[in-house]
Amino acid sequence: MAAVTKPAVVHVRAAHPDEGRVIAALWRELWDAHEAWGGYAGTRDERVYDHLAHRLGEDARVRGGQPVLGRHVHLVASQDGSVIGQVEGWFERHGIDEATPHTCEVRSLIVSARARATGAGRALLDGLGKVALQMSRGAAVVMAAEVLEPNPAHAFYAKVGYRPVSWTARVATEGAEDLAARSEPFSARLATSQDALALALLDPALAQRRRLQGDMRFDRPRAVDATLVGALAAHLGRPSAYQDQCELVVLDRQGVVRASASLTVMSLDPPFLPARRGMLGRIAADPALDPRPLVTPLVRLARRLALVRGAATLELTDLDAPGGPLHAGALGAGARPWSRIVERWA
């Protein structure tokens, strides 16, 4: 009878300084896969990956054998002494409510194609969860990962206990004029400090929608008070014409604010090719209205602003599930499904 060979154990640990090159190769494998699924393009310049390998080695040296540096976590999976996978985590708390759990954002999870059946992916996520609980000192932690719609990892995340709580659609920024207003009952503009109270009154509707979708990363609905309104007024009072983060509002024909959202445009870092990423999130709508007709003027304005700021596409984040009114409004404004956020408790 043939002897049964047990598979080698997978170890999850901090990276070593001499492992920068193999980790950079994993990143390249991940970026190539994302580009094949329609994601942002990665560079083919070997010098960029040489620099990345050096930076990863220096990062491991600074960490001194520990996975945590500030709020950033970096873990690798090794088998028989060879690195076969890696994951990053970003630890934070969204909001000011002490009852809001900490969030550990899962980033750059990759297991080499040659090691997909080893259990390394599950081990990396479990290891990241343990580190996050240590960082929170035992307080509740939500693990959250963004997964592109074409990514076959959806089944893997479901198998290890993650479930979708938020969806994203994406649209090209050019062609916003194709959505020209046709006697629409709503219009959009940049928010000003005079809109602070209106935005504060919309915030509980956003918080309630997130909770109903099962997204526990953010504060619960809270009462509107002078402190909140004052903080919003100060934020909105900044010059916004050329800023990469601004607030938008939707008004009805009487000039009443009926919806709001935040627009952010950011630069992608290597190994992505130089590009700008536009994101429209925190979409809050008057709960007394159907949000679908509010989305079109919001998206039209956001596309124009993102295009001026150099973004070729705009991601509409923090949407409800497919079939929901916000998601339907995004598709009606020309966007297409892009990704989803999946969560579980650590």
CATH of the domain at 242: 3.40.630.30
The yes-or-no verdict on residue 191 having pLDDT over 50 is: yes
Say if residue 124 is in the same domain as residue 35.
yes
Q: What pLDDT score does 298 carry?
A: 96
Q: What pLDDT score does 178 carry?
A: 62
Q: What pLDDT score does 233 carry?
A: 86
Say if residue 133 is in the same domain as residue 184.
no
Say if residue 56 is in the same domain as residue 80.
yes
Let me know if residue 3 belongs to a domain. no
Range of the domain at 188: 169-341
Window from 10-24, 98-112, 168-182, 313-327 with minimum mean pLDDT:
168-182
Distances, alpha carbon 208 to alpha carbons 109, 214, 219, 242, in Å:
30, 10, 9, 32
Q: What is the pLDDT of residues 299-336, one digit of tens each?
A: 999 999 999 999 999 999 999 999 999 999 999 999 99
Residue 152 identity:
P
Among residues 209, 210, 227, 226, the alpha carbon closest in space to that of 218 is found at: 210
Say if residue 147 is in the same domain as residue 174.
no
Final residue before a domain boundary, out of 161, 184, 216: 161
Band of the pLDDT at 1, cuts 50, 70, 90? very low
Final residue before a domain boundary, out of 161, 190, 216: 161
Say if residue 128 is in the same domain as residue 211.
no
Buried/exposed 279-303: b ≥16 CB within 10 Å, e otherwise: bbbbbbbbeebebbbbbbbbbbbbb
Q: What pLDDT score does 149 carry?
A: 97
Look up the pTM and report it: 0.92
Q: What pLDDT score does 236 carry?
A: 87
Q: What pLDDT score does 46 carry?
A: 94
The percentage of the chain sitting over the pLDDT mark of 90, rounded to a whole number, equals 84
Say if residue 125 is in the same domain as residue 210.
no
Q: Which residue has the higher pLDDT, 248 or 5?
A: 248
Q: What is the pLDDT of residues 270-303, one digit of tens each?
A: 889 999 999 999 999 999 999 999 999 999 999 9
Instruction: Specify the number of domains making up the chain.
Output: 2
The yes-or-no verdict on residue 4 having pLDDT over 60 is: no
Say if residue 140 is in the same domain as residue 180.
no
Average pLDDT over every residue of 186-208: 95
Query: Please, what is the average pLDDT of the chain?
Result: 93
Q: What pLDDT score does 182 carry?
A: 60
Contact between 38 and 74 (Cβ < 8 Å): no
Say if residue 146 is in the same domain as residue 173.
no
Average pLDDT over every residue of 168-186: 80
Among residues 24, 45, 28, the alpha carbon closest in space to that of 36 is found at: 28
Final residue before a domain boundary, out of 142, 161, 180: 161
The yes-or-no verdict on residue 179 having pLDDT over 60 is: no
Say if residue 209 is in the same domain as residue 305.
yes
Window from 55-64, 199-208, 224-233, 280-289 with minimum mean pLDDT:
224-233
Q: What is the pLDDT of residues 49-72, one digit of tens each?
A: 999 999 999 999 999 999 999 999
Say if residue 186 is in the same domain as residue 326.
yes
Q: What pLDDT score does 198 carry?
A: 93
Window from 98-102, 201-205, 232-236, 262-266 with minimum mean pLDDT:
232-236
Average pLDDT over every residue of 138-164: 97
Say if residue 123 is in the same domain as residue 173.
no
The percentage of the chain sitting over the pLDDT mark of 70, rounded to a whole number, equals 95
The yes-or-no verdict on residue 3 having pLDDT over 90 is: no
Q: What is the pLDDT of residues 250-264, one digit of tens each?
A: 999 999 999 999 999
Say if residue 204 is in the same domain as residue 330.
yes
